């Protein structure tokens, strides 16, 4: 059965870095409103806003101190209501980011819990009475996942930063508060939600120490606090209570899912509409999350991984397909190496992920071909995760130079610099110095200069339009994906197939002409201007969608 959200194309906005309307150097809601026509013209149908709730911004909004309030930095609830109206006028939907694993330590619940251990809010969080650190779990941002409560023999758990205490989902009262809060946003007209770190909400009840996996004698908390048995009960209830009755679209951030778990997560009666899978984002890492544990990888690994995940996921349901987000480096830099400025290559890469099976997510600036940038000192980083990974790398024995190289290539700051609107000072983002410095090469790709024929931006527009409005839209949206062997190095292909109809999508990651037998017939879509595939020859970085129905 078809679902409304299968037709969506989502554009992720990082509000702090999108557009500053009041000259304080921080992006805001009115800034987003002023750019809705740009978003509409791109052709996307929905925007996902990373958190805009009240927050001390220790983790850029993923530390919420009031779920019912808009952070002053971003504007007011009135501005937000205006955003809803302006989006409605343009037929653009809004997806909100729901952070339910933790709050800020400045949330009134947590403040109350600290002040009075007998208050009901104490049981909203995970406290352990103990004179010593309760176990050896290492938080996702490094160091012990436990923080001592001042003046008491008691610790609280934080999977992420010290300022992000974990909520206690075992407590039904807490769960009720969460459902009430989500319903409040639904009643405001929000029908789509991204669920942050949602597979962390269940912890292993033993709270036992485990085998250390680092220099620090600690072990990654994800081994005991992610995808744990019993998680499904919480997720079922969450879905039954709020999302399902309101026919919402939900996408869950679920790193580390095994193939066996897809059915429960996104199957017919799954907890969510979509999951974000992470396998392809960590190819260069030995361990999946420690940035310093780097290894060699090839484009073939990327394709193998994506084809495998795609085939496994579509057996049960749908995923959100993406190459970039606010936690990932720019895909141009990561996957194109020396060709990160080559426009044909950037377009080809964009199309490669975009035409896979799932709901496409495009991260702001991706449609311009923005790339990573290099920082010369650790002082230049803002992101807490980068700073932590830098120090961990040094503790693990890497030199300062190596550690800097490591964080530069993966830093979350890469994607978080201001969106480049033009090549004026501060890239048209603001008229004062922005919160995070855009380095000059940031402006090479900007929205203004790309208002021209054949630009990357216009390619994204045509690609989006093609998925929505062409003769083969149904195939591109609903068709199953079938990996296709090209027998040529760094040329990848997949087929999209619906009933008896199919199209072949083929991508040349080489900087030269290659001959691939299956590249033949009528070209339905391409990053080159051609109507007919030329006897098997693919130009450098060419991509084609070929008709297979004759």
Query: Using CB under 5 A as the criterion, which residues of the chain lie in contact with Ca ion when the complex forms?
Result: 20, 22, 24, 26, 28
Kindly state the DSSP code that residue 489 receives in the 8-state scheme: T
- The strand ranges marked E within 291-424 are 318-321, 359-363
Q: Is 253 a catalytic residue?
A: yes
196 is an interface residue for ligand GLC by CB under 6 A: yes
Nearest CA-CA partner of 6 in 433, 479, 472 = 479
Q: Which is nearer to ligand GLC, 62 or 137 (CB)?
A: 62
62 is an interface residue for ligand GLC by CB under 6 A: yes
Which partner from the list Ca ion, ligand GLC, none does 26 bind, CB cut-off 5 to 8 Å by kind? Ca ion
275 is an interface residue for ligand GLC by CB under 6 A: no
| 312: its two tokens | 């496994």
Closest separation between CB of residue 162 and ligand GLC, Å?
Answer: 13
Q: Which is nearer to Ca ion, 74 or 262 (CB)?
A: 74
Which partner from the list ligand GLC, Ca ion, none does 59 bind, CB cut-off 5 to 8 Å by kind? ligand GLC
Which partner from the list Ca ion, ligand GLC, none does 24 bind, CB cut-off 5 to 8 Å by kind? Ca ion
User: Which one of 253, 324, 340, 413 is the catalytic residue?
Assistant: 253
What are residue 13's DSSP bridge partners? 49
Based on DSSP, count helices (H) and strands (E) in the chain, helices before strands. Answer: 16, 22
166 is an interface residue for ligand GLC by CB under 6 A: no
d(CA 280, CA 277): 8
Report whether 66 contacts 107 (CB < 8 A): yes
Report whether 400 contacts 433 (CB < 8 A): no
160 is an interface residue for ligand GLC by CB under 6 A: yes
What strand order describes the sheet that includes 146-148?
127-129, 154-157, 146-148
Which partner from the list Ca ion, ligand GLC, none does 160 bind, CB cut-off 5 to 8 Å by kind? ligand GLC
User: Which one of 8, 73, 166, 196 is the catalytic residue?
Assistant: 196
- For ligand GLC, the nearest residue by Cβ is 62
385, HSE (Cβ side, Cα atoms, 13 Å): 24
| 289: its two tokens | 């999350």
Closest separation between CB of residue 321 and ligand GLC, Å?
Answer: 17
Handedness of CA 446, 449, 455, 458 (dihedral sign): positive
Tell me how many residues contact ligand GLC (CB under 6 A).
9
Q: Which is nearer to ligand GLC, 255 or 404 (CB)?
A: 255
Which partner from the list Ca ion, ligand GLC, none does 105 bind, CB cut-off 5 to 8 Å by kind? none
Token pair 């992420």 is found at: 160
Closest separation between CB of residue 142 and ligand GLC, Å?
Answer: 13
Q: Which is nearer to ligand GLC, 5 or 276 (CB)?
A: 276
**99, 275, 313, 427: which one contacts ligand GLC (CB under 6 A)?**
99
295, HSE (Cβ side, Cα atoms, 13 Å): 11
Q: Which is nearer to ligand GLC, 414 or 486 (CB)?
A: 414
Which partner from the list ligand GLC, Ca ion, none does 62 bind, CB cut-off 5 to 8 Å by kind? ligand GLC
Report whether 546 contacts 527 (CB < 8 A): no
Element (H, E) at 250: strand 249-253
Q: Which is nearer to ligand GLC, 98 or 545 (CB)?
A: 98
Per the rule left: phi > 0, alpha: psi between -120 and 50, beta: everything else, 549 is alpha
**20, 59, 105, 450: which one contacts ligand GLC (CB under 6 A)?**
59
Site string for ligand GLC, 215-254 (x = CB under 6 A): --------------------------------------x-
Q: Which is nearer to ligand GLC, 46 or 493 (CB)?
A: 46
**64, 145, 197, 356: which one contacts ligand GLC (CB under 6 A)?**
197
Q: How many CB atoms lie within 10 A of CB 111?
A: 15
Closest separation between CB of residue 265 and ligand GLC, Å?
Answer: 17
Closest separation between CB of residue 21 and Ca ion, Å?
Answer: 6
208, HSE (Cβ side, Cα atoms, 13 Å): 3
d(CA 249, CA 186): 11
Q: Give, to the nearest 10 degrees, the angle between helix 456-469 and helix 343-354.
A: 30
The residues, any chain, with a CB within 8 Å of residue 49's CB and separated by 6 or more, are 13, 15, 32, 94, 95, 96, 97
327 is an interface residue for ligand GLC by CB under 6 A: yes
| 517: its two tokens | 């037998």
Buried/exposed 277-309: b ≥16 CB within 10 Å, e otherwise: bbbbbbbbbeeebbbbbbeeeebeebbebbbeb
Which partner from the list ligand GLC, Ca ion, none does 504 bind, CB cut-off 5 to 8 Å by kind? none
Which partner from the list Ca ion, ligand GLC, none does 20 bind, CB cut-off 5 to 8 Å by kind? Ca ion
Q: Which is nearer to Ca ion, 18 or 494 (CB)?
A: 18
Q: Which is nearer to Ca ion, 29 or 456 (CB)?
A: 29
Binding site for ligand GLC (CB under 6 A): 59, 62, 99, 160, 196-197, 253, 326-327
* Residues annotated as catalytic (active site), given as ranges: 196, 253
């Amino acid at each position: 059965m078809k679902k409304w959200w299968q037709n969506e194309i989502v554009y992720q906005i990082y509000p702090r870095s999108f557009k500053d309307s009041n000259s304080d150097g921080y992006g805001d809601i009115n800034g987003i409103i002023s750019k809705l026509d740009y978003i509409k013209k791109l052709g996307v149908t929905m925007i996902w806003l990373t958190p805009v709730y009240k927050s001390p911004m220790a983790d850029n909004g993923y530390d919420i101190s009031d779920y019912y309030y808009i952070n002053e930095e971003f504007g007011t609830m009135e501005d937000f209501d205006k955003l809803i109206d302006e989006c409605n006028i343009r037929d653009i939907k809004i997806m909100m980011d729901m952070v339910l694993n933790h709050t800020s330590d400045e949330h009134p619940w947590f403040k109350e819990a600290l002040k009075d251990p007998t208050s009901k809010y104490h049981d909203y969080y995970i406290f352990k009475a103990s004179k010593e650190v309760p176990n050896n779990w290492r938080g996702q941002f490094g160091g012990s996942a436990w923080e001592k409560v001042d003046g008491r023999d008691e610790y609280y758990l934080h999977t992420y930063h010290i300022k992000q205490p974990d909520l206690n989902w075992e407590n039904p009262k807490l769960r009720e508060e969460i459902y009430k809060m989500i319903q409040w946003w639904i009643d405001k007209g929000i029908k789509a939600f991204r669920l942050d770190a949602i597979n962390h909400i269940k912890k292993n009840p033993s709270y036992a120490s485990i085998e250390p996996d680092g220099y620090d004698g600690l072990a990654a908390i994800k081994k005991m606090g992610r995808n744990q048995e019993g998680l499904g009960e919480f997720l079922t209830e969450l879905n039954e209570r709020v999302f399902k009755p309101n026919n919402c679209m939900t996408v869950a951030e679920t790193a580390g899912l095994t193939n066996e778990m897809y059915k429960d997560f996104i199957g017919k009666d799954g907890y969510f509409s979509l999951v974000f899978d992470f396998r392809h984002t960590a190819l260069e890492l030995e361990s999946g999350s420690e940035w310093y544990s780097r290894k060699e990888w090839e484009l073939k690994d990327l394709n193998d991984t994506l084809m495998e995940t795609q085939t496994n996921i579509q057996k049960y349901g749908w995923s959100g397909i993406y190459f970039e987000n606010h936690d990932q480096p720019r895909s141009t830099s990561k996957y194109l190496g020396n060709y990160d400025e080559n426009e044909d290559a950037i377009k080809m890469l964009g199309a490669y992920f975009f035409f896979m099976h799932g709901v496409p997510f495009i991260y702001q600036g991706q449609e311009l071909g923005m790339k990573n940038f290099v920082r010369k000192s650790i002082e230049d980083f803002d992101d807490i995760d980068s700073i932590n990974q830098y120090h961990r790398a040094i503790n693990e024995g890497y030199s300062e130079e190596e550690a800097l190289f490591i964080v530069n290539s993966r830093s979350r700051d890469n994607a978080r610099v201001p969106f480049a609107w033009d090549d004026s000072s501060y890239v048209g983002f603001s008229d004062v110095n922005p919160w995070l410095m855009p380095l000059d090469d940031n402006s090479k790709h900007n929205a203004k200069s790309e208002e021209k024929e054949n630009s990357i931006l216009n390619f994204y527009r045509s690609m989006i339009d093609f998925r929505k409005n062409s003769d083969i839209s149904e195939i591109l949206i609903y068709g199953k994906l079938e990996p296709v062997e090209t027998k040529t190095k760094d040329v990848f292909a997949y087929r999209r197939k619906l009933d008896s109809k199919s199209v072949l999508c083929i991508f040349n990651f080489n900087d030269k002409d290659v001959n691939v037998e299956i590249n033949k017939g009528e070209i339905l879509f391409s990053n080159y201007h051609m109507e007919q595939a030329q006897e098997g020859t693919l130009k450098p970085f060419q991509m084609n969608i070929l008709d297979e129905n004759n």
